[in-house]
Homo-oligomer: A and B are copies of this chain.
Amino acid sequence: MSKLLIVGTVAFDEIETPFGKTDKILGGAATYIGLSASHFNNVDSAIVSVIGGDFPQEYLDLLTDRNIDISGIEKVENGKTFFWSGRYHNDLNSRDTLDTQLNVLADFNPVVPQHFKNAEVVMLGNLHPNIQISVLDQMTKKPKLVVLDTMNFWMDCALDELKEVMKRIDVITINDEEARQLSGEYSLVKSAEIIHKMGPKYIVIKKGEHGALLFHNNQVFFAPALPLKEVFDPTGAGDTFAGGFAGYMAQQQTVSFHNMKNAVIYGSNLASFCVEKFGTQRMEQLSKDEVDTRLQQFKMLTQFDIELAE
Please report A residues at the B interface, Cβ cutoff 8 Å.
41, 90-91, 186-190, 207, 210-211, 213, 219-222, 224, 227-231, 251, 258, 261-262, 265-266, 292, 295, 299-306, 308-310
Contacts and interface: CB of A to CB of B under 8 A. Distances in A.
List the 10 closest A-B pairs by CB distance, nearest first. A210-B210, A189-B229, A222-B224, A261-B304, A262-B306, A302-B302, A189-B227, A222-B301, A292-B308, A220-B227
A304 B221 contact: yes
Contacts of A213: 227
Contacts of A207: 210
Contacts of A186: 90-91
A219 B231 CA distance: 19
Nearest to A301: B222
A29 B262 CA distance: 39
25 contacts: A91-B186, A187-B229, A187-B231, A210-B210, A211-B211, A213-B227, A219-B300, A220-B300, A221-B302, A221-B304, A222-B227, A222-B301, A222-B302, A224-B224, A251-B309, A258-B305, A261-B304, A262-B305, A262-B306, A266-B306, A292-B308, A295-B306, A299-B306, A302-B303, A303-B303
A123 B228 CA distance: 29
B228 A187 contact: yes
A218 to B, nearest CB: 10
Contacts of A258: 305
A46 B305 CA distance: 29
Nearest to A228: B189
A91 to B, nearest CB: 6
A301 to B, nearest CB: 5
A310 B41 CA distance: 9
A265 to B, nearest CB: 6
A169 to B, nearest CB: 22
Nearest to A307: B262
Contacts of A219: 300
A186 B306 CA distance: 32
Nearest to A93: B186
A221 B298 CA distance: 9
Nearest to A230: B187
Given A187-B230, A213-B227, A302-B302, 20 more contacts: A187-B228, A187-B229, A188-B227, A189-B228, A210-B210, A210-B211, A211-B211, A219-B300, A220-B227, A220-B300, A261-B304, A262-B304, A262-B305, A262-B306, A265-B306, A292-B308, A295-B306, A299-B306, A302-B303, A302-B304
